[in-house]
Amino acid sequence: MNTIIERFEKIKSNIKSLNPSNPVEIIAVSKTFTIEQIYPLIDYGHYHFGENKVQEAVTKWTGLKMEKKNIKLHMIGKLQSNKAKDAVKLFDYIHSLDNQKLADTLTKQQKNLNKNLKYFIQVNIGNELQKSGIPVRELDPFYNYCVNEINLNVIGLMVIPPNDNNSEKYFKSLNVLNKSLALENLSMGMSSDYDLAIKNGASYVRIGSSIFGSRS
């Protein structure tokens, strides 16, 4: 069996043991990896992949998505408004919705392209100055604006917790916020902490190096 498939199956098995009753979607984070490295996982029947740069994703995935109709592509990195058109064309999910200008631009591009993406609002749960995400105090009005005024299909919240070895605290906090908005999906957890994320309600986990190996 291919090494990537072996790693993937090990993670799937671990996730099932952590949460046997609720499905958890693995987003295989393929940023910086080539199509040749990714293809064994597609052939194996996995279709959810994550990228963090629009231009790299356009180059890598445009042809492949036309060939493989089941592929679902997730934008998991910071998204600038000037990249919104290309993002809406290519991606199926945006995990980094975090400001009104971006929300307005995405709405406009969706109408122009006749598409309806699924969105996660990224929350700056640790109030870090250098990190993207909507501040917790602004979450409720921003959510209401996105859903009720411009009709974006927001399905959940997303977080990248502070790097302070206390991820579980932030995952718990995000789960509380998610429930307060009556949302059913949570995008949280990466290779190093997806187990803690799943224990605290994650329905989408973003895993790269534990599947594909170290990035060069």
- List the one residue out of 101, 96, 133, 136 whose CA is nearest residue 117: 96
Tell me whether residue 216 is in a domain: no
Q: Residue 48: which domain range?
A: 3-211
Measured torsion, CA atoms of residues 62, 66, 69, 72, in degrees rounded to the nearest 10: 10
Tokens coding 51: 């990228």
* Domains of the chain: total: 1
The per-residue pLDDT for 129 is 74
The per-residue pLDDT for 212 is 92
CATH value at residue 104: 3.20.20.10
**83 Cβ neighbours under 8 A, 6+ residues apart:** 54, 55
The per-residue pLDDT for 1 is 61
CA distance 146 to 64: 31
Tell me whether residue 93 is in a domain: yes
**DSSP assigned state of 145:** I
User: From the DSSP assignment, how many helices (H) and strands (E) are in the chain?
Assistant: 9, 9
Tell me whether residue 161 is in a domain: yes
Distance of CA 169 to the CA centre of its chain: 20
Low-confidence ranges of the chain (pLDDT < 70): 1, 215-216
